[in-house]
Amino acid sequence: MHGTGVPLVTPFDSAGRVDRARLRSFVDWLEDGGVDFLVPCGSSGEAPLLTTDERIEVVETVAETTTLPVLAGTGQEGYEPTLETTERAAAAGADAALVVTPSYYASDDAALAAYYRALADDAPIPIYLYSVPKFTGHALSPRTVASLATHENIAGIKDSSGSLESIQRLDHHTADESFAVFVGSGSIYAAGLAAGADGGVLGMANVVPRRASGIYRLANEGDGDAARARNAALVELNRAVTAEYGVPGLKSALSLRERPMGEPRRPLQSLGEPARRELASVLTAALDATPTDRDRRN
C-alpha cells in the first residue's frame, strides 16, 4: 500500500440495503480518478453501522470490481469478532486489514499493543493500525506503534489525529522498519508527505479523487510547492466533508457530483437544505481552484 487511498462511502438503495451495482460503478469512477488503493468499511463507509455480513458484502464487491489493492476495515470492539471479520474479509479478497483501536473499555496502550500482536499472529493478511482519537478517545503513542512495527504481520498505520507532529514522530520511530505511515487527515496531506508519510487515506478523495491523488503525485515528483498549493485549495472541502458535516456531508457532496449514494444510516441524518447549499458552494470553489486534465469529471 502506498499513495492515495479512499475510505469508501457505502452506497445504500431505497430499502437501506448495500447497493452493490452502485458500489461497482463508484469503484470504477475512483480508479479512473487515479487513486492508488481502496479502503472499504472505514469510518467514511459507516462501518460501525454495518453488520458483519454487510461488511463482507462490501469488501467482496470492491475486491471483485477493482484491480487496486484493497485494505478492508475489519476492526470490532473485541478480539474474536475482529479476527473473524478479518478472516472473512481475506476470503472475500481483501489484501490487508485496517483495524481501529477498540474504545468501549478505554484500554491503555499496553493492552492495545497485546491485542494487536495477538491479532497479527493469527490474521491471514497484514494488519494496519488505525488510530482515530476523535472517535475512540485514544491515540496510539508513536513509541507503542514503533514496538508493533517490528511484527512481521503489522504493515502500517493510518493516523487520523490531524497532527503533523504525530506523523513526524511516527515516521521517526518507525524509520528502521518496513512500515507504512498514512495520513488520515486531508488538511495536512502534503505536509505529512513532506514529513515522511507514505501516503494517505482521505475522506475527501471520495468526492475529488483526481485532485486528492494529485497531491501525492506532485509530492512524489518532487514538486512540494505545487502539492501544498493543491492541498490548500482543498482544505475547506476536506473540513466540510469530515469535521463539519461528516458522512452526511460526503454523501451530499457525492450527490452534487452526480454520484448519489443513498441516505446515511440511522442515527445519522441527511443534510438540511441550508447546509447542502453551503456545501455546494465549497465544492464549486474547490473544483474551480484545482483544474485537472479531465476537469469536473474526477
Residue 294 has pLDDT above 70, yes or no: no
* Rg for the chain, CA atoms, rounded: 18
Q: What is the mean pLDDT of residues 160-173?
A: 96
Grid coordinates belonging to 192: 505529512
Taking the CA atoms of 250, 251, 256 and 257 in sequence, report the sign of the dihedral they define: positive
Q: Does 29 or 297 have the greater pLDDT score?
A: 29
Alpha-carbon 110 to chain mean position: 25
Q: Are strands 71-73 and 180-183 parallel, antiparallel or unpaired?
A: unpaired
> How many separate helices (H) and strands (E) can be counted in the chain?
12, 8
Question: What fold characterizes domain 3-224?
Answer: TIM Barrel (3.20.20)
Q: How far is CA 31 from CA 5, 6, 298, in A?
A: 11, 10, 10
- Residue 296 — pLDDT band, cuts 50, 70, 90? very low
Residue 117: the pLDDT is: 98
Residues annotated as part of the active site = 130, 158
Q: What is the mean pLDDT of residues 34-59?
A: 98
Q: Quote the strand ranges of the chain, DSSP E.
A: 3-7, 37-39, 71-73, 96-100, 127-131, 154-159, 180-183, 199-201
Residue 1: the pLDDT is: 86
- Separation CA 212–CA 150 (nearest Å): 31
Residue 140: the pLDDT is: 96
Q: What is the mean pLDDT of residues 25-40?
A: 98
Taking the CA atoms of 210, 211, 213 and 214 in sequence, report the sign of the dihedral they define: positive
Find out whether 201 is annotated in a ligand binding site.
yes
- Residue 295 — pLDDT band, cuts 50, 70, 90? very low
- What is the secondary structure of 177-243 as a DSSP string? SS-EEEE--GGGHHHHHHTT--EEE-GGGGT-HHHHHHHHHHHHTT-HHHHHHHHHHHHHHHHIIII
Residue 36 has pLDDT above 70, yes or no: yes
Q: What is the mean pLDDT of residues 26-47?
A: 98
Q: What is the mean pLDDT of residues 143-158?
A: 97
Residue 204 has pLDDT above 90, yes or no: yes
- Separation CA 271–CA 30 (nearest Å): 24
Residue 264: the pLDDT is: 98
Peptide bond into 267 cis (omega under 30): yes
Grid coordinates belonging to 51: 453488520
Residue 292: the pLDDT is: 63
**For the chain, which residues make up each domain, given as ranges?**
3-224
Query: What digits encode the pLDDT tens for the residues 212-258?
Result: 999 999 999 999 999 999 999 999 999 999 999 999 999 999 999 99
CB contact at 8 A, 204 and 6: no
Query: What digits encode the pLDDT tens for the residues 83-120?
Result: 999 999 999 999 999 999 999 999 999 999 999 999 99
